[in-house]
Amino acid sequence: MKPAELTLAISTHLPEMRKSERKVAEFILANLSEVIRMRIVDLAEAAGVSEPTVVRFCRAVGCDGFQAFKLALAQQLASSPSYGQIAVTDTDSVAEYTFKVFDSTVDTLLKVRDSLDLEMLTRAVQAICVANRVEFYGFGASAAVAFDAQHKFFRLQVSAAAYADPHLQNMSATSMAPGDVVIAISQSGRTTTLINAMEQVKNRGAIVIAIAPSDSPVAQAATIPLTIDAKEDIQIYTPLSSRIAHLVVIDVLAIGVAQHKGGQLQEHLLDLQHGLEALRVPNTESD
């Protein structure tokens, strides 16, 4: 029994349950966090059924017994930390908004992780691996993402560049050729300049990977769309978590490329590490 899917399992089995088992199920779904502190007697009473019915319910959702059920439930609860809306208010303390920002980011990452199109991801990695050069386009907050990506891929011996200037982007776009790859990054998915550049790149026969919301013009304009729908909790302040999600998706691409490149890359990375050491106070690590 995978804990991450317990509540799902409960909901799934609901229709085929008996009346009193359903009472248990409904009570549990409505009182998830209390249930893990309850004994079988308490739960039976609270749900208005007998103890054996609770046991039967546990078996029905795929657990070995009541204890096993509680354990699985506890795990599921622990693994979806926020689960709900996180809105920073004017009166939040430092501790409160710190936790909210972290938790909402974590929440976003888990959602994005589960909604990624692995097929597209695979295609994107392959395209990057065989590309002559890889360029990143992005404006605003996505510009920082693009530069981060450039840095990362450059380390992986990929000929990478990043442009946040529309003129440079255009010049880059017109110089693209088949075998090249452009990665267009947009949080809004509706930046017209970016879409124009993408069209130009496609006309030149190069591949365009987009990291953007699904159903957005940017995603639609891509050869390989990597769609990311990170509902922004703190929208107005600036894209917080969705930008992080973009970065992590790029991390995944980078790991994919690194894996493809295999052994000789490791040596290159170690060389880089040694090179950077000269710029540092004696010790170890990477910047």
Partner DNA sequence: TCGGCTATTGTAAATAATTTACAAATAAAT
Partner DNA sequence: ATTTATTTGTAAATTATTTACAATAGCCGA
Instruction: Give the residues lining the site for DNA (CB under 7 A).
Output: 18-21, 39-41, 48-53, 55-56, 58, 64-68
Residue 28 in contact with its own copies, rule: CB under 8 A:
no
Instruction: Identify the CA nearest to 137 among candidates 214, 221, 238, 215.
Output: 221
Window 30 to 49, contacts with its own copies (CB under 8 A): 36
151 is a site residue for its own copies (CB under 8 A): yes
**Measured CA distances, 207 to 118, 196, 256 (Å):** 18, 14, 18
CA angle 177, 179, 182 (to 5 degrees): 75
For its own copies, which is the closer residue by CB, 178 or 275?
A: 275
Q: Nearest distance from residue 191's CB to its own copies, in Å? A: 6
Which residues have CB under 8 Å from 175's CB, separation 6+?
204
Nearer to DNA among residue 55 and residue 77 (C-beta): 55
| Among DNA, its own copies, none, residue 58 binds (CB under 5-8 Å by kind) | DNA
Per partner kind, with CB cut-offs from 5 to 8 A, the member of DNA, its own copies, none near residue 217 is its own copies
Strand pairing category for 181-185 and 224-227: unpaired
Place of tokens 């710190």: 98
Which residues, 6 or more positions from 229, have their beta carbon under 8 angstroms from its beta carbon? 112, 115, 213, 214
Whole-angstrom distance, CA of residue 199 vs CA of residue 206: 10
155 lines the binding site for its own copies (CB under 8 A) = yes
Residue closer to DNA by CB (options 43, 145) is: 43
33 binds, among DNA, its own copies, none (CB under 5 to 8 A by kind): none
Closest to its own copies by CB, 14 vs 143, is 143
Q: Which is nearer to its own copies, 7 or 142 (CB)?
A: 142
Total residues contacting its own copies by CB under 8 A comes to 91
| Contact criterion met (CB below 8 Å) for 62 and 17 | no
**Contacted entry of its own copies, DNA, none for residue 66, CB cut-off 5 to 8 Å set by kind:** DNA
Are the C-beta atoms of residues 154 and 180 closer than 8 Å to each other?
no
| Partner that binds at residue 264, options DNA, its own copies, none, CB closer than 5 to 8 Å by kind | none
Closest distance between DNA and the C-beta of residue 62, in Å?
14
Least separation in angstroms between residue 75's CB and DNA is 17
Cα(49)–Cα(24) distance, integer angstroms: 8
- The 190-219 contact track toward its own copies, x by CB under 8 A, reads xxxx-x---------------------x--
Which residue, 58 or 181, is less far from DNA as judged by CB?
58
Q: Which is nearer to DNA, 50 or 223 (CB)?
A: 50
Nearest-angstrom CA–CA distance, 76 and 28:
13
User: Is residue 172 involved in binding its own copies (CB under 8 A)?
Assistant: no
Residues 6+ apart with CB under 8 A from 54: 24, 40, 43, 44, 47, 66
The entry of its own copies, DNA, none near residue 243 (CB within 5 to 8 angstroms by kind) is its own copies
Q: What's the full length of the chain, in residues?
A: 287
How far out from the chain centre does Cα 152 lie? 18
